[in-house]
Amino acid sequence: MKTVLQCKEISKTYGSGQIQVQALKKCSLEFTQGEFAAIVGKSGSGKSTLLKILGTLDTPDEGEVLLDGESVLHLSDKRLSKIRRRKIGFIYQDYSLFPEYTAYENIIMPIHLDGRKEHKEHVLEVLETLGISGCKDKFPSEMSGGEQQRTAIARALCISPAVILADEPTGNLDAGNANEVVMLMSKAARLYSQTILMVTHDRQMADYADRILVIADGSIG
Partner 1 sequence: MSNTFLKLILTGQRRRKREMRYVSLAAFISVLFMSSVTLFQTVMDRYLMETNYQNYGDWVLSAVKDDTDSTVRFSELSHPYFTASGVCVTGASLLNGQNEPIRACLGTADEEVRQFGNLSLYDGRFPEAENEIAMDLTSLSALGYRYETGQTIRITVQEEDTVAEQDYLLTGIIKSFAANWKHRFRYPLPNCIVTKEGLARICTPRYATYFYQLDRRYEDLDMQEFTSAFFLPGHIREYNSYVYENRIWGSKDMFDSVKLLLTLIGALAVGYLMLSYVSQRRKWYYRLRCAGADKAQIRFLIFVEAVCGTFPYALLGMTIPYAVGAAVCLGLSAGQGLPYFFVFHPEDFFGQMGTALGIILFVILCAWMGCRDQRLSQNSHGVTKRQLRRLRRDARTHRNRNTGRSFLRRQRKLHPFQYTAFVLFSFGVCLLLTLCLNKLWQSGQEYRLAKEDLHDFTASRQNNLAMESPFMDGAISANKDPAYDMYDGISDASGKEIASLIGIKSIERITMDATHILQWQNKADSPIEQHVLEQYKQNHISIPGTYFSYYEDCGKLLKELKKDFELKKLDPAAFRNGEEIVLMLSPYDIWGDEADKQLLETTIHAGDTVEIVSAEEQLHIPLEIKDHVRLPGCVPVKVGAVIKNPPLNWKWRVGFGASYAILASQRLAERVAKADGQTLCYNYLNIDLNSASSFESTQKRLADIFSEQSVTYSSDSEEIALLRHTFVRNVCIYSVLLITILFIFLLLWVHFHQLQDRYRAKEYRLLKQLGMEEAFWARISLKESFWETVWMIICVPCSYAMMAFEIYADFKKQKETVGLYLWSDTLYDYTGDLMLLTRDQMRLYTNPVISAGFVLALILGLAALRYLVIRRCVKPDASGKSE
Does 136 interact with partner 1 (rule: CB under 8 A)? no
Q: Find the binder of partner 1 among 41, 46, 110, 146 (CB under 8 A).
A: 110
Contact predicate 149/173, CB 8 Å: yes
Stretch that binds partner 1, among 106-114, 122-130, 186-194, 212-220 (CB under 8 A): 106-114
Contact predicate 14/20, CB 8 Å: yes
CB 213 → partner 1: shortest distance, Å?
Answer: 21
The residue (of 21 and 113) whose beta carbon lies closer to partner 1 is: 113
Q: Find the binder of partner 1 among 100, 128, 174, 207 (CB under 8 A).
A: 100
CB 110 → partner 1: shortest distance, Å?
Answer: 5
The full DSSP string for 106-173 is: HHHHHHHHTT----HHHHHHHHHHHT-GGGTT--GGGS-HHHHHHHHHHHHHHT--SEEEEESTTTTS
CB 64 → partner 1: shortest distance, Å?
Answer: 17
* Interacting residues with partner 1 between 40 and 99 (CB under 8 A): 52, 55, 57-59, 77-78, 81-86, 90, 96, 98-99
* CA–CA gap between residue 29 and residue 167 (Å, rounded): 17
Strand 163-167, strand 88-92: pairing = parallel
The three-state secondary structure class of 101 is coil
Contact predicate 132/164, CB 8 Å: no
Does 114 interact with partner 1 (rule: CB under 8 A)? yes
Does 11 interact with partner 1 (rule: CB under 8 A)? no
Contact predicate 162/195, CB 8 Å: yes
Stretch that binds partner 1, among 17-25, 27-35, 38-46, 113-121 (CB under 8 A): 113-121
Q: Which residues bind partner 1 (CB under 8 A)?
A: 52, 55, 57-59, 77-78, 81-86, 90, 96, 98-102, 105, 109-110, 112-114, 117, 137, 139-142
